[in-house]
A = this chain, B = another copy of it.
Amino acid sequence: MTIFGAYTNSEILNYLKEQTPHAEIHIDDKEALDHSANGKAENSIQGKILAYVEVGDVEDIRGVLKTARKFHVPVVPQTADTSTVIGADGINGSIILSVKKLNHIKELNVDDSLAVVEPGVINQELDNAAREKGLFYAPDPASKPISSIGGNVSTNAGGMSCLKYGATKDNILGLKVMLADGREIKLGGRTLKQAFGYDLTQLFIGSEGTLGIVTEITVRLRPLPLGKSVTGMAFFNDMTALAKCVNKLRLSGLNFSMLEALDGKTVVALDEYEKTNYAKSDSSSMLIFGFDDASEQEPKVSEKILKENGAWGIEITTDPEKAKKLIKLRQDMLLAVFAQSDYYIMEDMAVPLSKLAEMVDYIAKVTKDQNVMIYTAGHAGDGNLHPTFLWNGQSEAPDNVIEGIRLLFRKTLSLGGTISGEHAVGMSKNQWTVEELGSNVDQIQHEIKNLFDPLGILNPKRKIN
């Protein structure tokens, strides 16, 4: 039996149970293991957790924190457990604090154009509820059907519509947060404009559970646009040509709500997966684009620019069924790519808009030099790329994959980009902090962390080092 100071595990667990009367607590069972290791018990690499706790209310959260403070136990906040950066997996001796049962939409207010939700609400469910009332929730990460608003807030999740509506951070009006010391604070509010306090709402968005536990979120909802929905696709000889054309499209002044790139290999994989026949060749890449508020000019002007910039196979539609098929293609991209091999690492970086073509060229070079399999897709309209590295055989990433990722990160930084565009940092990238942010900012981050969490109990070793 593990000993923490003078206490045994069972003493800690007894105290935990007393403090969390409405929680469901799992110890040593499959559910605990699964949630400890990104949905797969066999993935477990972070050691053995103390308990997996699904809280029933905010008081249970306070109880978990009280237990953690008393026994100096790490707390890993978790909701839908969809992190792509080892941000919510168990840590040796930790309590996983799951808020997945706090999944109620407490208010959906049309006239104020906002909703107040618990952190466990699934993004898609919030959006569906809003659409029933003529509004929508803009942020649409690829994980939309399965990821939670709480997780989206903690990672500042992005998606396809960031281009027009920004990331999660641009769609949150207020938060309630429980601090490590058990105080619940209210940040932001219900107004579109706010210039009163320091912007602590934004400090908590994207802080990956390292500064406090988000207990309530006030999201901005927008009225559904009155214009037409237009969706299109186009092909290019390679990703570089696509990237160059995307900048032309963007600079035209057309207000795209979607500008998505898929490289040739990804389209081939999608054809296999979807039983479709889009791919022309391994190298020819595909652009999926859209407007959610179009008039007559949008399809015309975009077709003209596409043709002038080497695109072919252009199809533009206002038919919802056809549009759905195209968007599904983009949505299924990850599943199709992951089906190509035994193992994968999907990366996420963003570069300044003009550097997209150079970055794409560099990915091709790394593919060749390192002899690695990379399938690249991305939100081309805001310079955000997701190269996915694939390999077979051993589960551990081989050296050329590791080196390939390292090269892409270095290149991204040298182009003035960021090695996390929308997936956050977790434990996958925090060793890059000084390289991306500099040692002064790294130090300030630790000081802020220390201010909110002096005992270091909240998701330790995530986000910052």
A205: which B residues are within 8 A, CB to CB? 199
26 contacts between A and B (CB under 8 A): A111-B247, A113-B353, A162-B192, A167-B193, A183-B440, A191-B351, A191-B417, A191-B418, A192-B383, A193-B422, A195-B418, A196-B420, A196-B437, A197-B441, A198-B203, A198-B448, A198-B464, A200-B441, A203-B203, A226-B253, A226-B297, A227-B295, A444-B451, A447-B451, A448-B448, A451-B451
Interface residues of A in 145-197 (CB under 8 A from B): 155-156, 158, 162, 166-167, 169-170, 183, 185-187, 189-197
Cα distance A436–B195 in the bound complex, in angstroms: 11
Chain B residue nearest in CB terms to A384: B193
The 7 closest A-B pairs by CB, nearest first: A295-B295, A111-B354, A202-B202, A226-B253, A192-B382, A193-B421, A191-B350
> A251 within 8 Å of B by Cβ?
yes
Q: Are A189 and B418 in contact (CB under 8 A)?
A: yes
Contact of A253 among B225, B251, B353 (CB under 8 A): B225
Contact A156 B195 (CB under 8 A): yes
| Residue of chain B at shortest CB distance from A429 | B196
Sample of 14 further A-B pairs with CB below 8 A, known A194-B421, A226-B252: A109-B354, A162-B192, A167-B193, A186-B438, A186-B441, A189-B418, A193-B418, A197-B436, A198-B207, A226-B254, A226-B301, A255-B293, A448-B451, A451-B451
Given A226-B254, A250-B223, A418-B189; A158-B195 close (CB under 8 Å): yes
Contacting residues, chain B, for A350 (C-beta < 8 A):
191-194
A108 within 8 A of B: no
Name the residue in A111, A383, A464 with the highest tally of chain B Cβ atoms < 10 Å from its Cβ. A111
Q: Which residue of B lies closest to A451 (CB)?
A: B447
If the complex has contacts A134-B251, A295-B297, A417-B189, are A195 and B223 also in contact, measured as CB distance less than 8 A?
no
Shortest Cβ distance from A149 into chain B, in angstroms?
16
Set of chain B residues within 8 Å of A27, measured between Cβ atoms? none
Q: A169 vs B21: C-alpha distance in the bound complex, in angstroms? A: 42
CB of A13, distance to nearest CB on chain B (Å): 30
Question: A433 contacts the other chain (Cβ, under 8 Å)?
Answer: yes
The distance from the CB of A297 to the nearest CB of chain B, in whole angstroms, is 7
